[in-house]
């Protein structure tokens, strides 16, 4: 194997490693409406290929009689409840991966479920949004992340064939110890009012700062050093809060190519959500 072909294999594997559910996560969901190989109809949107880490989000239809009040950016010395703001915009880590893509894809498998099915698997009441801003329910699943059993409700935009907007509402018991997600030093964390509780909103994500470095190899397994930089311009939005013993997160991916360096959001395509939309979604969950 040449050095170049080995690098290409490693790059292909890295594109399918995600701390949040990504395209590989759903690859075997043959009946899911976002499956690329499944024919689309007027109520389905495709799940699109994309580079790097990916997230998913959830949205609501027209908001009625919901009052929200953004409280502004958290002061620099304030401590975020839902995000761990690092002292730097850069972070490095090491991971060990098998350069065989099949071996990776075989380990990522979930079964799409209905809300009643996932409700039977958790010990807290799953909240459902009353508004969707044009998005429709697609599927649900439960999964383990950071040692915590979580529920994810997926929503899609009907007729979205160009952007691949994704939206998810994640929920877990507030009694479980879920570590706050790390964000960069320049991440803008806004404190917002969601009905009678405070939540936190931010936009951006970690992107690769440079090509991964292979620091060890054993057979097909490669240990890689990954350097990442926080980028506020990346088209991912997060809203987190707790209410009635449940921890919530709404995560919105503006486009399948939101991780690309030259990404620009397209407001002319339906389904582009902002902070106030996510707050309205959150406020309608019961």
Per-residue pLDDT 10s for the chain (286 aa) are: 555 445 445 445 444 444 443 343 333 333 332 222 222 333 333 333 322 222 322 222 222 222 223 345 554 445 678 999 999 999 988 888 877 654 444 444 467 899 999 999 999 999 999 999 999 999 999 988 878 889 999 999 998 888 889 999 999 999 988 888 899 999 999 999 999 999 999 999 998 888 888 898 888 888 989 999 999 999 999 999 999 999 999 999 999 888 877 778 788 889 999 999 999 999 999 9
How far the first Cα of the chain sits from its last, in Å, is 55
**What is the per-residue pLDDT for 264?**
80
Q: How far is CA 100 from CA 110, 203, 220, in A?
A: 20, 33, 7
Number of domains comprising the chain: 1
262: burial class by Cβ within 10 Å (0-12, 13-18, 19+)?
A: exposed
Report pLDDT for 266: 84
| CB neighbourhood size of 214 (10 A) | 15
Residue 55: domain span: 3-284
Q: What six digits make up the tokens of 261?
A: 């360096």
List the helix and strand counts (H, then E) for the chain.
Answer: 4, 14
């Amino acid at each position: 194997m040449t050095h170049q072909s080995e690098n290409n294999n490693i790059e292909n594997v890295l594109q399918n490693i995600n701390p949040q559910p990504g395209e590989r996560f759903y690859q075997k969901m043959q009946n899911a409406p976002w499956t690329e190989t499944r024919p689309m109809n007027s109520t389905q949107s495709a799940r699109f290929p994309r580079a790097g880490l990916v997230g998913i989000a959830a949205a609501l239809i027209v908001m009625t009689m919901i009052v929200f009040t953004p409280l502004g950016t958290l002061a620099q010395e304030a401590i975020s409840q839902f995000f761990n703001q690092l002292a730097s915009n850069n972070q490095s880590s090491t991971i060990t991966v098998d350069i065989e893509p099949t071996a990776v894809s075989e380990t990522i498998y979930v079964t799409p479920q209905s809300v009643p099915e996932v409700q039977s698997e958790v010990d807290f009441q799953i909240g459902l949004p009353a508004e969707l801003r044009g998005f429709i329910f697609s599927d649900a699943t439960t999964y383990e992340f950071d040692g915590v059993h979580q529920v994810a409700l997926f929503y899609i935009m009907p007729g979205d064939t160009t952007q691949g907007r994704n939206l998810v509402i994640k929920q877990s018991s507030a009694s479980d110890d879920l570590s706050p997600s790390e964000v960069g030093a320049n991440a803008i964390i806004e404190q917002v009012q969601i009905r009678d509780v405070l939540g936190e909103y931010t936009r951006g994500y970690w992107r690769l700062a440079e090509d991964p470095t292979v620091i060890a190899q054993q057979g097909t397994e490669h240990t890689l050093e990954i350097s990442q930089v926080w980028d506020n311009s990346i088209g991912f939005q997060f809203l987190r809060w707790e209410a009635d013993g449940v921890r919530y997160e709404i995560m919105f991916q503006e486009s399948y190519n939101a991780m690309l360096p030259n990404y620009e959001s397209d407001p002319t395509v339906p389904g582009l959500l902002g902070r106030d939309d996510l707050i309205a979604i959150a406020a309608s969950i019961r």
